Chain A
Amino acid sequence: MFEIQHLILKEIKLEWRNRVALNGLLLYVVSSIWVVYLGFSLTVSVLSPIIWNTVFWIILLFSSVNSVAKSFLQEREGRMLYYYTMVSPQGIIFAKIIYNTLLLLIVAFLGLFFYIVLMGNPVQDFPLFCLSLALGALGFASTLTMVSGIAAKAQNSTTLMAVLSFPIIIPMLLMLMKVSKNALDGLDRSLSIDEIITLLAMNLIVVSVSYLLFPYLWRS
């Protein structure tokens, strides 16, 4: 636990010292929302809830892939070797997952804020929507962290990151879209329980598989 705490603090410090990456990321979200806003020419038209929802999740997916991709790419060879001697691989993967979850939560909620400002707010059950967003941040972070660890070992890893992560993230994305669509339409919450439980189970699978597999990745 102590180890994980320190690793998370280290990640936050690194991010804070090198704010270019963080600012770039936030700008990425805002500018893609802006592109969508202008593209749909929303001054004269209004998005239907299903398009509102889908576009939002797609923007979020791309921003998440971009933000998590660097979690292993930014580490230099020497520093990796240093960690290798100091901490356990399980500590590293947990620290990275937790840190990326925090990062994606910031990205998601900031994105939501700008999105609502520009596109209007058709969400009827706001707490449920926020819950789906939080679940999404957790799920994306845990899946993408592991994939970025894999992609970082190969050449042209940015393309590989998208190729490897999109197909395995689709089931999660579909569930999230369904929950948030329910929230958008203000349906009764009992209708979303199944999806939420499935999402939690999926997250559990992904995190535990990452926990088991990461040591092998780390040693190579």
Chain B
Amino acid sequence: MFKLTWWKYLTIVLLFYTLIAGFLVEVPRLDIVNESIRNLYFHVPMWFGMILILLVSMIFSIRYLRTQNEIYDIYSVEAANIGIVFGILGLITGMVWAQFTWGTFWHGDPKQNASAIALLIYLAYSVLRSSLEDEQQRAKISAVYNIFAFATLIPLLFILPRLTASMHPGNGGNPGFNSYDLDSRMRMIFYPAVIAWTLLGWWIVTLRVRFAKIRNQVRMKQYATHSE
């Protein structure tokens, strides 16, 4: 039967908790945002998850450069891919939310722009990978780009939006959500949601890494039988 490690059970439980509590539990009544404030449990964790998973991807790139172990390269690629998926989901949920609260899908908000640029960087990373043929060289060079890109991404995500006016809460004079959820009920759901989505992302990464490993093994076997 199924045997899962503890954190996978935790992911399942927390995800169900997020879905059920996120849709049913009372939320603060606010002008403009109204019920759409529930998107906080889905939109914001996507960004937290993306940044955390991209951070993991960069750490695996560093480990690859240190050890030259192929498995770390697979980890860093798959983590970057899931990071892109989270980024796209975050962008979509954000755009829908923006349509109902700010009036347009694309508002030119600094955070929106910054996240679009972040996606461009990681799409460029996958273009770079596909244009390198030698496997070892591909692993090495893309690891270098991954680290370089992450180092330039940090100022983009954390410094730039704070310097210019933004319509996101907590920026440019807008109050943060912290000042809204006075009863801290939202926080009780928000933090588990962040953990749940991030763990789900990591779970998908491990599955994809296993898949990649098996694919490599099958290929090796095929080469072996062909060469006989």
Contacts of A166 in B (CB 8 A): 120
Contacts of A202 in B (CB 8 A): 152, 155
18 A-B residue pairings within 8 Å (CB atoms):
A147-B148, A154-B141, A155-B131, A155-B132, A156-B131, A163-B128, A166-B120, A168-B148, A168-B149, A168-B153, A171-B152, A171-B155, A171-B159, A174-B160, A195-B163, A198-B155, A198-B163, A216-B143
The 8 closest A-B pairs by CB, nearest first: A167-B120, A167-B121, A168-B152, A171-B156, A154-B131, A209-B151, A220-B140, A163-B124
- Are A209 and B160 touching (Cβ within 8 A)? no
Q: Bound state CA distance, A171 and B140, in angstroms?
A: 26
Tell me if B178 counts as interface (CB < 8 A to partner A): no
Helix, strand, loop or mixed for chain A's interface? helix
Smallest distance from the beta carbon of A96 to chain B beta carbons, Å? Answer: 15
- The B118-174 residues at the A interface (CB cut-off 8 A) are 118, 120-121, 124, 127-128, 131-133, 136-137, 140-141, 143-145, 147-149, 151-156, 159-160, 163
Smallest distance from the beta carbon of A175 to chain B beta carbons, Å? Answer: 8
Q: A160-B127, A209-B147 are in contact. List 14 more A-B contacts (CB 8 A).
A: A150-B128, A150-B141, A155-B133, A163-B128, A164-B124, A164-B127, A167-B121, A171-B152, A174-B160, A205-B151, A210-B148, A216-B143, A216-B144, A220-B137
With A168-B152, A198-B155, A209-B148 as given contacts, are A217 and B141 in contact (CB-CB < 8 Å)?
A: yes
Tell me if A4 counts as interface (CB < 8 A to partner B): no
Size class of the A contact interface (CB-based, 8 Å): 20 to 34
Tell me if A170 counts as interface (CB < 8 A to partner B): yes
Size of B's binding interface in residues, CB under 8 A: 31
Q: Bound state CA distance, A201 and B155, in angstroms?
A: 9
Smallest distance from the beta carbon of A48 to chain B beta carbons, Å? Answer: 19
Smallest distance from the beta carbon of A213 to chain B beta carbons, Å? Answer: 5
Q: Bound state CA distance, A173 and B61, in angstroms?
A: 27
The residues of B with any CB-CB pair to A shorter than 8 Å are 65, 114, 117-118, 120-121, 124, 127-128, 131-133, 136-137, 140-141, 143-145, 147-149, 151-156, 159-160, 163
- Are B160 and A171 touching (Cβ within 8 A)? yes
Contacts of A153 in B (CB 8 A): 132, 137, 141
Q: Bound state CA distance, A160 and B145, in angstroms?
A: 12
Smallest distance from the beta carbon of A15 to chain B beta carbons, Å? Answer: 26
With A171-B160, A216-B140 as given contacts, are A160 and B155 in contact (CB-CB < 8 Å)?
A: no
With A216-B140, A216-B143, A220-B140 as given contacts, are A194 and B163 in contact (CB-CB < 8 Å)?
A: yes
